[in-house]
Amino acid sequence: MRILIISLPRTGSTSLLHSIANSKKLKPLFEPFDGTNRVTYEDEMSNIVLKTIVDVQRPENCDDYLNWIIKFSKSFDEIILLSRKDLKACAESHAYSVHNRKNGFTSTDSYLWEPTPVDELCYNNIIKWNSVLNTLSNVFNIPITYYEDLYNPNDIGRLRKGNRDEFGKSII
């Protein structure tokens, strides 16, 4: 069994990756094309679930992402496209993560959101990448799965905390 998750950043894709891997007894491959070489991918691997971020992570020397991901996807038994209905919240979370990474922030850290200098750039990227996911949905004839349908965005255990009066800030 080979499952491919193609997602926007900050959509719960890492949690989904590990949930599927655990429930189906598959090896999780976390973003093998992100340039860090933490995880390697080989074409003949089986019994895997692979997660990649749409239009951001691709093999070196790949100029045409759409054609590459379509061809790459053909070797998988199942494809999951993961996005968010609230693209503004997705972009805010992504911007916060990108901006604060230099301070040691990781994707699994709890945080109180506040605006960053990269908010507009990240929002524009999220809109562009979501358009790519919509194209892939049409090409593969599969629906997009949404963060809000998998996870409760109002759960008190979520990583992005909201309406924290003790900080004098309100979160959308």
- Could you tell me the residue ranges of all domains in the chain? 2-167
pTM: 0.82
pLDDT category of residue 80 using cuts at 50, 70 and 90: very high
- Higher-pLDDT residue of 73 and 60 is 73
For 4-33, b/e burial (b = at least 16 CB within 10 A) is bbbbbbbbbbbebbeebbeeeebebbbbbb
Which homologous superfamily is 2-167 in? P-loop containing nucleotide triphosphate hydrolases (3.40.50.300)
Looking at residue 58, its pLDDT comes to: 65
- Higher-pLDDT residue of 163 and 158 is 158
Task: Say whether pLDDT at 138 is over 50.
Answer: yes
- Higher-pLDDT residue of 63 and 146 is 146
Mean pLDDT for the chain overall: 83
